[in-house]
Chain A
Amino acid sequence: MKILVAVKRVIDFNVKPRVKADGSGVDLANVKMSMNPFDEIAVEEAIRLKEKGVAEEVVAVSIGPAKAQETLRTALAMGADRAILIQTDDEVEPLAVAKLLARLAEEEQPGLFILGKQAIDDDSNQTGQMLAALLNWPQGTFASRVEIDGDKVNVTREVDGGLETVRLNLPAVITTDLRLNEPRYASLPNIMKAKSKPLATKAPADYGVDTAPRLTLLKVAEPPRRQAGVKVADVDELIGKLKALGVVA
């Protein structure tokens, strides 16, 4: 089986995002960018399935600017076999990303398509579900455990009430949650090796997908800021405050 993994280049999770003064967006100039953390988990899961002998090939895919090559090289250094960049400088919304990935799935015929559950920049949490809908494949979202079983996959999902397990026909779409695995760091030799792994560059037009946005960004604002309050000296004072607020009787 072949596994496709979608990886997005996003602001590094350790950076505190700053809203631009003119309200046109978040300032990404000179900001550290990395692979979306959930996508690292997706790549790791695909590689583990290959190491277990369940998958033969892992292909990493990204849609974004030329710099997204770095993100794909990271995936290759982790252990993906080849990469595809659908290059564009335009903002591509989840629906259009899902359409591009769907076309790619038709071309590559993977058994699994693994995505992150959420990109930490747009926080949309929708691309994987949309991809599954477009392909008419089942979806195992927010996965904390993935177990291939013949022509099915059992996926344990992190849901609001706890955990839930579903059994899906293959091919299927999976989106990762935090507890699925702990992604490896790429070793230096593997980073070197990744430089010679194949990375194909395409354009959205190659797939005949209209990527025109459906949403217009009118404004980006800072959220209301909380003021730091007071420090109390001890537990008695804390209880006094809690009583004053009516939190305790």
Chain B
Amino acid sequence: MKRPVSAFFVIVITMIDNKTLSDIYDRHHHELFVYICGFTRMPEVAEDFLHDAFVRLIRYSQKYPLDPTNIRAFLYRTARNICIDHARRNKKLNISPLEENLKSGGGDPQTDLELRELRGTVDSLVDARDQLSRSVYLMRTELDMPYQEIAGALNISERTAKRKMSSMLEYLADSLEKAGFKLFMLILLSLLAILFVIYR
């Protein structure tokens, strides 16, 4: 967070007050929570991380003056770092896929099952990508944020945000296509094996 130049020598730093903190929380907590959920896929853990991110903001305000234009970027950056730290500490971060929270595919159990399998595949594919691509993907798909806002929140250029999103979707489309082909071939081979056993 950049320090105002005018206050080079005399900077009066006061800890963020309750009202300001409450306003900031109200403004940013939902998108942050969803963003963290995209990483952790566990709402309880996401809530803890959200709390940690705001505590870091409070501690920062004890040492340095807050720049209102950068609070959002600070929170996103902090949340992402917390998620990365947690993922490093606990490799089994994505053990709960939040099945109960997923949208229903339309009532048809077969379709729901296929959709869940598809989302599971997408999750594993997304997890394999870098943190910045994941962040852009989550903000775009989950929060429907325009690229300009994504760029501001992640402190990257808009062009980079677009490139990351396109790259991620190309990768998903390609991987899903290949996964579908592999499944088709697997089923086909299984059928041939069954027929061979029956008619032998």
The finding on whether chains A and B are genuine partners in a shared complex, rather than unrelated, reads no
